[in-house]
Amino acid sequence: MTDTAAALAETRRVLRPSGRLALAVWGAPERNPFFALVAVSMIRHGHVPPPGPAGPPVFCLADPERTTALLNAAGFADVRTEEVPVRFSLPDVDGYLSFVADTGGPLGLVLRGLPEARRADVRADLEDSFPRFAAERGYELPGVALCAVAS
């Protein structure tokens, strides 16, 4: 959403009077290494620009207080938020890269378009980062989603 406040206000406007909004967004980047690991590497190697002062757009609603304030300002009432932990189980770094390339939105598009040598640089960074996420069968990368409901 380019203008989050306007998008939420329009959502409230078109919602039936007794309607409810439910949304799920990603929590803070530092609590979502699934996204942060590849993003940091791609920024470091110059494949994507660093995020602006407001942070990466995918995390624009990561703060529960900000999300609540935006929903209230848009005309929603009875706003409730809850953080929900998530885990991504992956067999190895190549499985992670494939998953990100297929589902990672703008990062995935850039990753898919990298020449093999540039992708190998990202892979090497991930090989260094992944051991701390070792699990019995591969790797488990933790994350946090922020869920909200409002009427």
Q: Are 92 and 150 in contact (CB under 8 A)?
A: no
3.40.630.10, 3.30.300.30, 3.40.50.150, 1.10.8.100: CATH of 4-150: 3.40.50.150
3-state secondary structure the chain: CCCHHHHHHHHHHHCCCCCCEEEEEECCHHHCHHHHHHHHHHHHCCCCCCCCCCCCHHHCCCCHHHHHHHHHHCCCCCCEEEEEEEEEEECCHHHHHHHHHHHCHHHHHHHHHCCHHHHHHHHHHHHHHHHHHEECCEEEEEEEEEEEEEC
Structure confidence at residue 53 (pLDDT): 66
- For position 105, what pLDDT does the model report? 85
* The predicted structure's pLDDT at residue 56: 62
pLDDT tens, position by position, for the chain (151 residues)? 789 999 999 999 999 989 999 999 999 988 999 988 999 999 999 999 988 766 667 788 999 999 999 999 999 999 999 999 999 999 999 999 999 999 888 889 999 999 999 999 999 999 999 999 999 999 999 999 999 999 9
Enumerate the β-bridge partners of residue 89. Answer: 140
Residue of 143, 144, 3, 8 whose CA lies nearest to 71: 8
Predicted local confidence at residue 51, as pLDDT: 80
Q: Residue ranges of the domains in the chain?
A: 4-150
